[in-house]
C-alpha cells in the first residue's frame, strides 16, 4: 500500500530554495552555459533554474515554475517517458504538501523549434504526487531523436532531447551509453554529469544506483573530514516522505544534473542510499527503532523515487507502490539491457565476512526467487535473443577474494568445519560475494546454456574495474572458462579508497594485492572519480573510463584513463589503447 503523506512541521515545509539559488548563482560561467545550451531553441534554463528569454522578468517576479528541469527515460522503439516538476505557487515547495491542482501542457516534436509537433497533451498534477509530471509518450518512431517541453502557469520549461530505441528486429551499427553511479552532492560538484552532457555521441545514460544519499550534513561529505561542498537539504537524515521528496528536489536543482537529464534519456536503477545504507529485505544497517518502521520508511523512499525519476516502475509510468524496478529494454538485435534491483529482495548480510560459510547458503539470496528466474530468462531468450546481454548491476558480481581453494576441495573441508566460503574469503559481502549461491546459479545457467556475450555493467564501489567472470577463480586462467565480463564505473563524487585513507601511496599496494589474488581482474582504479562510456557493436563491447580532477573544482576537466573491450564470443576482457567516439 502507498503510505499517506507524512505530516510536516512548519519548519520542515519551509524550503531553502532561496539559499540554494544563491549557491547555484555562484557557479562558474562554463557550467551555466552548458545547462543553458540544453534549452536552446525554446526557453533556456540558467544555473539557478530560472527561465531566460521572453518570460524571464515575469518568472523572477513570480517564481520559477520549472525549477527542477526536465528529464526522459526508459526509451522503447515507439515510446519514451518524459518528466518534470512544477511549482504552481511559491508555497508549493517540494515535500510541503501544499499547492493546487494544476494542468500542464506537454509537446513532443522532431525539431527544436517545435514546428513539427508529433504528440501533445495535458497532464494534471497536484500535491498528492508532489506536483511531479511523468507520462509515457507513445506512437513515436523507432531510433528517432525527439524534443519535448512543458508549459504551465504562463511559463515554458527548458527543452529536453531524447531518443527512441531501435525497432525490435533492427540491426544498429552501434549503441553508446554514458555510465555513472554514486553521486553524493555533499562530496563534490557533478562535473561528470556536465562533461557527459557536452558530448553529442550518446544514445542514453545508464545510472547504476546511489543517485542521491540519505545522510545529514556532516555525516558523509568529501574525504576523511567529511567536508560538505554543498550541505544536504533537509538538514537531517531523510526518513519521512517529505524528507525524500526534498532531497530529490535538491539534487535536481543542480545545473549539471539538469543538463544531462535534458540532453539524454536515462535508464536507472537504485542501490541502497536511495533509501538508506546497506538496506536489505526487512531492514538496513543505517536504520534504528527511533526512525520508525523500516518497511514504511522504504515505502516512502520508493514512492518519492517513483515520483521524481523518469523510470517505469511496475512496468508503467503511473505511480504505484514502487515495488517492481527490475525491467528489460531492447535495442534491436544488437543488445538488451536488463536492469536489476539488488536491495528490495535480498537477505541480510553475513555477520563475519572474512570466514563465514553462510555466504554459500542457498537459502540466502541477493535477487529473490522471482527476479532470479527473470534474470535467467533475460540471458536465454530463445532464437530471437539480441546478441549482447547487458546487465545493469547495482553491486559487483565478479569474485574479489583471498585464500581461494579449488571448488572440489571446498565442500569436503566444509563437511568437517563448515567455515569456508565457496570462492575464498570475500572482502565485501555487500556485493555478490556475500551471496555465492545466487552467483553460482547465474554462472551455471550461462555455462549450461552456452550463452555468449554477457556483460555486467556495475556501480556501487566508487572505483573502476574490468574483470572476467570465471566459473572457478582458483584455477583461472590456467583451467576453466569465463562466462562473461564485468565493467565497473567509478563514482561521480562519492569517496573512494584514496579519499577515505588520505594516503595516495597506499592504493597502488592494495590494487596490486587484489589483482595478485584475483587473476581475472584486469583493471582496478581506487584513486579517481568520473564517468565511463560503453560502446556496443556486433564485433565487440568496449568500456572507456574517464577521470576528473578535483571534486571541489567546478571547472575541472576529464582525461581518458583506460579502455577495455570484450570481443564477441570470447567472454574475456582485453586492454585497448584508444577510446571510442569523438572525446
- Tell me if 241 is assigned to some domain: no
Strands of 517-569, DSSP E: 521-525, 530-536, 540-548, 558-567
Q: What is the pLDDT of residues 144-158, one digit of tens each?
A: 999 999 999 999 999
Q: What is the pLDDT of residues 437-480, one digit of tens each?
A: 999 999 999 999 999 999 999 999 999 999 999 998 888 998 88
What is the predicted pLDDT for the residue at 384? 78
49 pLDDT band, cuts 50/70/90, is very low
What is the predicted pLDDT for the residue at 17? 41
Residue 238 has pLDDT above 70, yes or no: yes
What is the predicted pLDDT for the residue at 412? 37
- Tell me if 42 is assigned to some domain: no
What is the predicted pLDDT for the residue at 318? 84
Among 220-229, 400-409, 467-476, name the one with the lowest average pLDDT: 400-409
What is the predicted pLDDT for the residue at 31? 32
- Tell me if 482 is assigned to some domain: yes
Proportion of the chain above pLDDT 90, given as a percent: 74
Is there a contact between 163 and 192 (Cβ–Cβ < 8 Å)?
A: no
Which among 199, 186, 252, 261 is positioned nearest to 532, based on CA atoms? 199
Q: What is the pLDDT of residues 510-562, one digit of tens each?
A: 888 889 889 999 999 999 999 999 999 999 999 999 999 999 999 999 999 99
- Tell me if 53 is assigned to some domain: no
Which among 478, 484, 483, 479 is positioned nearest to 448, based on CA atoms? 483
Proportion of the chain above pLDDT 70, given as a percent: 83
- Tell me if 287 is assigned to some domain: no
Average pLDDT, the chain: 86
- Tell me if 544 is assigned to some domain: yes
Counting Cα atoms < 13 Å in the Cβ hemisphere of 49 gives 29
What is the predicted pLDDT for the residue at 63? 87
The structural domain count of the chain equals 1
Q: Are strands 454-458 and 482-488 parallel, antiparallel or unpaired?
A: parallel
Residue 38 has pLDDT above 50, yes or no: no
Is there a contact between 423 and 443 (Cβ–Cβ < 8 Å)?
A: no
pLDDT (mean) for 259-275? 98
What is the predicted pLDDT for the residue at 423? 53
Residue 12 has pLDDT above 70, yes or no: no
pLDDT (mean) for 247-269? 98
Is the model more confident about 159 or about 400?
A: 159
pLDDT (mean) for 310-323? 82
What is the predicted pLDDT for the residue at 215? 98
Is there a contact between 582 and 533 (Cβ–Cβ < 8 Å)?
A: no
Counting Cα atoms < 13 Å in the Cβ hemisphere of 117 gives 12
403 pLDDT band, cuts 50/70/90, is low
What is the predicted pLDDT for the residue at 321? 63
Is there a contact between 8 and 97 (Cβ–Cβ < 8 Å)?
A: yes
What is the predicted pLDDT for the residue at 428? 85
- Tell me if 549 is assigned to some domain: yes
- Tell me if 405 is assigned to some domain: yes
Is there a contact between 419 and 384 (Cβ–Cβ < 8 Å)?
A: no
What DSSP letter does each residue of 30-89 carry, written as one string?
HHHHHHHHHTTTS--B-TT--B-STTHHHHHHS--TTTT-EEEE---SSEEEEEEE---S
Domain ranges, residue 445: 166-209+325-576
pTM (2 d.p.): 0.87
Q: What is the pLDDT of residues 409-445, one digit of tens each?
A: 334 333 333 333 455 567 788 999 999 999 999 999 9
Residue that the C-alpha cell 508529433 belongs to = 118
What is the predicted pLDDT for the residue at 475? 84
Q: What is the CATH number of the domain that holds 387?
A: 3.60.21.70
Is there a contact between 116 and 109 (Cβ–Cβ < 8 Å)?
A: yes
What is the predicted pLDDT for the residue at 422? 52
Residue 4 has pLDDT above 50, yes or no: no
Amino acid at each position: 500500500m502507498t503510505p499517506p503523506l507524512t505530516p510536516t512541521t512548519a519548519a520542515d515545509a519551509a524550503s531553502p530554495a532561496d539559499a540554494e539559488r544563491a549557491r547555484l548563482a555562484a557557479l562558474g560561467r562554463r557550467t551555466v552555459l552548458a545547462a543553458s545550451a540544453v534549452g536552446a531553441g525554446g526557453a533556456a534554463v540558467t544555473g539557478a533554474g530560472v527561465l531566460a528569454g521572453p518570460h524571464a522578468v515575469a518568472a523572477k517576479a513570480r517564481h520559477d515554475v520549472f525549477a527542477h528541469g526536465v528529464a526522459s527515460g526508459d526509451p522503447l522503439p515507439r515510446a519514451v517517458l518524459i518528466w518534470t516538476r512544477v511549482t504552481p505557487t511559491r508555497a508549493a515547495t517540494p515535500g510541503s504538501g501544499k499547492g493546487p491542482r494544476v494542468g500542464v501542457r506537454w509537446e513532443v516534436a522532431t525539431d527544436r523549434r517545435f514546428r513539427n509537433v508529433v504528440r501533445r497533451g495535458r497532464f494534471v498534477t497536484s500535491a498528492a504526487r508532489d506536483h511531479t509530471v511523468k507520462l509515457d509518450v507513445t506512437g513515436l518512431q523507432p531510433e528517432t531523436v525527439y524534443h519535448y517541453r512543458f508549459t504551465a502557469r504562463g511559463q515554458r520549461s527548458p527543452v529536453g532531447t531524447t531518443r527512441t530505441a531501435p525497432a525490435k528486429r533492427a540491426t544498429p551499427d552501434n549503441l553508446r551509453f554514458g555510465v555513472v553511479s554514486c553521486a553524493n552532492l555533499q562530496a563534490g560538484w557533478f562535473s561528470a554529469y556536465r562533461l557527459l552532457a557536452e558530448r553529442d555521441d550518446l544514445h542514453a545514460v545508464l545510472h547504476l544506483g546511489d543517485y542521491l544519499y540519505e545522510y545529514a550534513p556532516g555525516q558523509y561529505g568529501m574525504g576523511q573530514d567529511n567536508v560538505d561542498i554543498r550541505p544536504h537539504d533537509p538538514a537531517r537524515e531523510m526518513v519521512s516522505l517529505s524528507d525524500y521528496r526534498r532531497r530529490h528536489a535538491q539534487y535536481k536543482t543542480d545545473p549539471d544534473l539538469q543538463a544531462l537529464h535534458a540532453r539524454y534519456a536515462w535508464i536507472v536503477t537504485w542501490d541502497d542510499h536511495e533509501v538508506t545504507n546497506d538496506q536489505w529485505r526487512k531492514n538496513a544497517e543505517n536504520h534504528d527503532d527511533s526512525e520508525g518502521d523500516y518497511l514504511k520508511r522504504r515505502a516512502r523512499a520508493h514512492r518519492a523515487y517513483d515520483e521524481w525519476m523518469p523510470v517505469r516502475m511496475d512496468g508503467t509510468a503511473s505511480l504505484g507502490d514502487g515495488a517492481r524496478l527490475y525491467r528489460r529494454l531492447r535495442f534491436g538485435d544488437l543488445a538488451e539491457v536488463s536492469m536489476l534491483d539488488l536491495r528490495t529482495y535480498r537477505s541480510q548480510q553475513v555477520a563475519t565476512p572474512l570466514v563465514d560459510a553462510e555466504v554459500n547458503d542457498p537459502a540466502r539470496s541477493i535477487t529473490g526467487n522471482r527476479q532470479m528466474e527473470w534474470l535467467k530468462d533475460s540471458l536465454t531468450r530463445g532464437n530471437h535473443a539480441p546478441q549482447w546481454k547487458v546487465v545493469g548491476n547495482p553491486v559487483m558480481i565478479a569474485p574479489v577474494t583471498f585464500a581461494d581453494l579449488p571448488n572440489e576441495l571446498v565442500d569436503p573441508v566444509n563437511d568437517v568445519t563448515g567455515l569456508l566460503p565457496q570462492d575464498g574469503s570475500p572482502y565485501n559481502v555487500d556485493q555478490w560475494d556475500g551471496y555465492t549461491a545466487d552467483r553460482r546459479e547465474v554462472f551455471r545457467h550461462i555455462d549450461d546454456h552456452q550463452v555468449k556475450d554477457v556483460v555486467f555493467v556495475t556501480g556501487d564501489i566508487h572505483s573502476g574495474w574490468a574483470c572476467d567472470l570465471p566459473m572457478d577463480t582458483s584455477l583461472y586462467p590456467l583451467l576453466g572458462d569465463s562466462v562473461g565480463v564485468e565493467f565497473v564505473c567509478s563514482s561521480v563524487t562519492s569517496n573512494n579508497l584514496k579519499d577515505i585513507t588520505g594516503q595516495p601511496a597506499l592504493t597502488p599496494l592494495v590494487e596490486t594485492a587484489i589483482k595478485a589474488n584475483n587473476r581475472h581482474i584486469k583493471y582496478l582504479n581506487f584513486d579517481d572519480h568520473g564517468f565511463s562510456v560503453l560502446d556496443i557493436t556486433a564485433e565487440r563491447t568496449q568500456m572507456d573510463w574517464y577521470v576528473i580532477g578535483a571534486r571541489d573544482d567546478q571547472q575541472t576537466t576529464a582525461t581518458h584513463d583506460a579502455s577495455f573491450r570484450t570481443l564477441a564470443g570470447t567472454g574475456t576482457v582485453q586492454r585497448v589503447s584508444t577510446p571510442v567516439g569523438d572525446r
